[in-house]
């Protein structure tokens, strides 16, 4: 959620920190700040609101510092204001924090009783005060960090700078952290996201939980050292080249990242299919044959949960594997009946979703094998699972997920075909190719969808309905619209309309009805129920059904031929474009919608 960038090296730290933070704006935030060493003192500049506000503050003095830490905050503890913005600091230390300190209120009372004074309402400042307190008694920053980190509870990541040196420190627990180094330029970077380091650090390292990282610059070299909390050298980190392209962080000729990512889907689908069926992934998916678990516990959040509902249909239909799909924040706090011959399947774009990670840990502790459907190689979820199925979506910057959903569903389908021993069937690859072509045609026909959006965007509310395999798509369509257009939208199983939701129908309520060849007549009868109550109907359904046109105010016709298993993805792309154009007409911040974060790394 919060964005973190730290730098130490020979150049002015302001430029790489601000550039890095700008790349993390997609994660969602409400204030921004930076700490620099100026005249031998730690100086903090921070402003409520967008990063441009901080840029304006920096432009007043154009400061120069060879070490610094920066932060974009997504508020959890304390109001959105300058005092609660990060970094937090004093004369000796400054810290930036991503996560939640669960015992902060208890620790704060104890520290206040000892005479320590707090300047903010945040939990983050508790770590700063603990660090300062322990540094006085331990006489060592490393020892103080270890002791302070052992004192706090909850999932957190910290980057720390100190007055005494130009060194940077980091430590984390179940929260993202990446360390980067540029040996040629003698530079060290710490960040919450490797995307911030693209073009700066060719080599990156992912420390595991409770490992302290220390970045040091000398006259001749840059180095990063890792330590356990007992201060012995640590080998619990993973290094790799930073292979992300700078092109992934630009919009190209598109007005928004979301629109770019919608249009990337046809090529991504074909790329995934080629990799899984004809390329290196073939052994991964073919290796599933004959290894079906007795039960899948599928957990995820938001859009990934909707993908899980679609994937459940594949496993049950083609593999006869029983499945339960549950929201991660609910699964983790009840007492699920888990057996060792079952598998936990966890779906996450970032691989850092806090609730999903907690579910993986629970299943692992109970002796279950754990699988991930994940976009980010090297993420916490990727590292902790027994097997990983990468969705190969590339970097997704738009907060409202589009291409990741498509790739998650497609990955689940490929897994199902692997279990069934049908991965190499010509029909599997051919259906994905047909899907890619149909989605490309929808993207080219965006003006038609835009015209429909122009007729709908001022309506008071939207009810999305679907039966069978289209019910999860109704849920996803409603989520996408409310995320970026800020309108009330709900998804329902079409058969549930008469069990309550139909009371909402009037001439200012829109029913976006999803109909496929499956259960068409039953879904059509639900549309007729809405029409009888003067509801406005936009239907998405098969070509050539005059009765659907007769009962609907607007229809977007689709060709379902050749898509017996993957038509849900095609229908969803229409809803992605509809949501985009409604939001565009309303003038909302499409790529960075209010109050939302791309990667929810706190509970």
Q: Do 275 and 392 share a structural domain?
A: yes
Tell me the CA end-to-end span of the chain in Å, nearest whole number.
11
- State the DSSP string of 161-226: EESS-S-EEEEEESS--EEEEETTTTEEEEES-GGGGTTT-SEEEEE-TT-EEEEEE-SS-EEEEE
Is 598 labeled as catalytic in the residue annotation? Answer: yes
Going 6 to 12 to 16 to 21, the CA torsion angle's sign is: positive
- Of 2, 170, 301, 359, which is the active-site residue? 2
Model pLDDT for residues 19-78, shown as the tens digit of each residue: 999 988 877 788 999 999 999 999 999 999 889 999 999 999 999 999 999 999 877 777
Q: Do 152 and 112 share a structural domain?
A: yes
Q: How confident is the model at residue 194 (pLDDT cuts 50, 70, 90)?
A: confident
Pairing of strands 369-374, 387-390: parallel
Model pLDDT for residues 255-279, shown as the tens digit of each residue: 999 999 999 999 999 999 999 999 9
Q: Do 470 and 378 share a structural domain?
A: no
pLDDT at 338 over 70: yes
pLDDT of amino acid 107: 97
User: Cα–Cα distance between 174 and 570 in angstroms, integer?
Assistant: 35
Q: Do 310 and 233 share a structural domain?
A: no
Mean pLDDT of 185-213: 94
Q: How confident is the model at residue 598 (pLDDT cuts 50, 70, 90)?
A: low
Q: Which of 200, 222, 248 is the last residue of a domain?
A: 248
- Of 37, 108, 260, 598, which is the active-site residue? 598
pLDDT at 16 over 80: yes
SS3 category, 28: coil
Mean pLDDT of 398-421: 97
Mean pLDDT of 352-363: 92
User: And the tokens for 423?
Assistant: 């991965």
Total-model pTM:
0.82
pLDDT at 473 over 90: yes
Q: Which of 419, 440, 461 is the last residue of a domain?
A: 440
pLDDT at 91 over 60: yes
Mean pLDDT of 102-108: 95
> If you compute the radius of gyration of the chain from its CA atoms, what whole number of angstroms results?
25
Q: Do 227 and 310 share a structural domain?
A: no
Q: Which residues of 373-407 are buried (b: 16+ CB within 10 A; e: fewer)?
A: bbbbebbbbbebbeebbbbbbbbbbbbbbbbbbbb
Which H or E run includes 315? helix 302-318
Top pLDDT among 409 and 2 is at 409
> What is the SS3 assignment for 105-122?
HHHHHHHHHCCCCCCCCC
pLDDT at 368 over 80: yes
Cα–Cα distances in angstroms (integers) from residue 88 to residues 93, 243, 480, 602, in the given order: 8, 33, 35, 19
**Residue where the block lists tokens 């610059």:** 217
CB 163 within 8 A of CB 37: yes
Mean pLDDT of 440-451: 97
Residue 150: which CATH number? 3.60.20.10
> What is the SS3 assignment for 63-74?
CCCCEEEEEEEC
In 334-379, which residue ranges form alpha helices assigned H by DSSP?
354-365
Q: Do 411 and 486 share a structural domain?
A: no
Pairing of strands 31-38, 67-73: antiparallel
Q: How confident is the model at residue 603 (pLDDT cuts 50, 70, 90)?
A: low
pLDDT of amino acid 247: 63
Q: How confident is the model at residue 471 (pLDDT cuts 50, 70, 90)?
A: very high
Q: Do 370 and 290 share a structural domain?
A: yes
Q: Do 181 and 63 share a structural domain?
A: yes
pLDDT of amino acid 251: 85
Q: Do 104 and 205 share a structural domain?
A: yes
Q: Do 240 and 265 share a structural domain?
A: no
pLDDT of amino acid 592: 87
Q: Do 77 and 95 share a structural domain?
A: yes
pLDDT of amino acid 354: 86
- The length of the chain, given as a count of residues: 603
Per the structure, the count of domains in the chain is 3
Model pLDDT for residues 531-559, shown as the tens digit of each residue: 878 889 999 999 989 999 999 999 999 99
Residue 588: which CATH number? 3.40.50.10490
Q: Which of 201, 229, 248 is the last residue of a domain?
A: 248
| β-strand partners of 370 | 344
Q: How confident is the model at residue 347 (pLDDT cuts 50, 70, 90)?
A: very high
Q: Do 526 and 388 share a structural domain?
A: no
Top pLDDT among 526 and 600 is at 526
Residue-range definition of the domain harbouring residue 136: 3-248
């Amino acid at each position: 959620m919060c964005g973190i960038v730290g730098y130490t090296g020979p150049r002015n730290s302001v430029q790489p920190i601000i550039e890095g933070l700008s790349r993390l704006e997609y994660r969602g935030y409400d204030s921004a700040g930076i700490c620099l060493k100026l005249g031998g003192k730690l100086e903090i500049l921070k402003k409520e609101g967008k990063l441009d506000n901080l840029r304006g503050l920096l432009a007043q003095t154009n400061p120069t510092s060879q070490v610094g830490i920066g932060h974009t905050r997504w508020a959890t503890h304390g109001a959105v204001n300058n005092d609660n913005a990060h970094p937090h600091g004093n004369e000796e230390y400054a810290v930036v924090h991503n996560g939640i300190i669960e015992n902060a209120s208890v620790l704060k009372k104890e520290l206040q009783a000892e005479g320590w004074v707090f300047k903010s309402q945040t939990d983050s400042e508790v770590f700063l005060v603990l660090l300062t307190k322990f540094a006085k008694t331990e006489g060592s920053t490393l020892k103080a960090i270890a002791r302070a980190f052992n004192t706090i509870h909850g999932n957190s990541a910290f980057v720390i700078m100190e007055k005494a040196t130009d060194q940077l420190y980091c430590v984390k627990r179940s929260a993202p952290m990446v360390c980067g180094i540029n040996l040629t330029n003698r530079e060290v970077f710490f960040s919450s996201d490797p995307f911030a380091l693209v073009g700066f650090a060719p080599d990156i390292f992912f420390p595991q939980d409770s490992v302290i990282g220390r970045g040091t610059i000398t006259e001749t070299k840059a180095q990063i050292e890792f330590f356990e909390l007992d201060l012995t050298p640590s080998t619990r980190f993973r290094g790799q080249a930073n292979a992300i392209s700078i092109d992934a962080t630009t919009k190209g000729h598109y007005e928004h990242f979301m629109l770019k990512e919608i249009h990337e889907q046809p090529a991504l689908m074909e790329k995934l299919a080629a990799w899984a069926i004809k390329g290196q992934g073939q052994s991964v998916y073919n290796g599933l044959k004959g290894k079906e678990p007795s039960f899948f516990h599928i957990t995820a959040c938001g859009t990934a949960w909707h993908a899980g509902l679609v994937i459940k249909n594949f496993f049950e239909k083609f593999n006869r594997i029983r499945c339960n799909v549950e929201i991660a924040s609910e699964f983790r706090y009840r007492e699920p009946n888990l057996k060792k011959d079952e598998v936990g399947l966890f779906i996450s774009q970032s691989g850092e979703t806090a609730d999903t990670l907690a579910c993986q840990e629970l299943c692992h502790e109970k002796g279950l094998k754990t699988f991930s459907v994940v976009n980010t190689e090297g993420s916490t979820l990727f590292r902790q699972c027994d097997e990983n199925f990468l969705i190969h979506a590339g970097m997704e910057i738009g907060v409202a997920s589009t291409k990741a959903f498509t790739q998650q569903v497609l990955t689940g389908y490929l897994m199902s075909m692997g279990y069934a021993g049908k991965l190499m069937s010509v029909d599997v690859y051919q259906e994905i190719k047909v899907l890619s072509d149909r989605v490309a045609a929808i993207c080219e026909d965006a003006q038609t969808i835009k015209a429909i959006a122009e007729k709908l965007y001022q309506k008071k509310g939207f009810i999305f309905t679907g039966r069978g395999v289209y019910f999860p798509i109704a849920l996803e369509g409603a989520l996408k619209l409310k995320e970026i257009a800020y309108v009330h939208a709900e998804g329902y199983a079409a058969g549930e309309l008469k069990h309550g939701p139909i009371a909402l129908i009037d001439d200012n309520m829109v029913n976006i009805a999803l109909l496929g060849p499956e259960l068409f007549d039953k879904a059509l009868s639900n549309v007729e129920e809405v029409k009888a109550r003067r509801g406005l109907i936009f239907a998405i359904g098969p070509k050539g059904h005059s009765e659907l046109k007769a009962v609907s105010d607007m229809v977007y016709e689709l060709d379902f031929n050749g898509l017996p298993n993957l038509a849900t993805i095609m229908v969803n792309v229409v809803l992605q474009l509809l949501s985009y154009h409604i939001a565009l007409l309303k003038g909302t911040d499409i790529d960075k919608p209010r109050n939302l974060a791309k990667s929810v790394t706190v509970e």
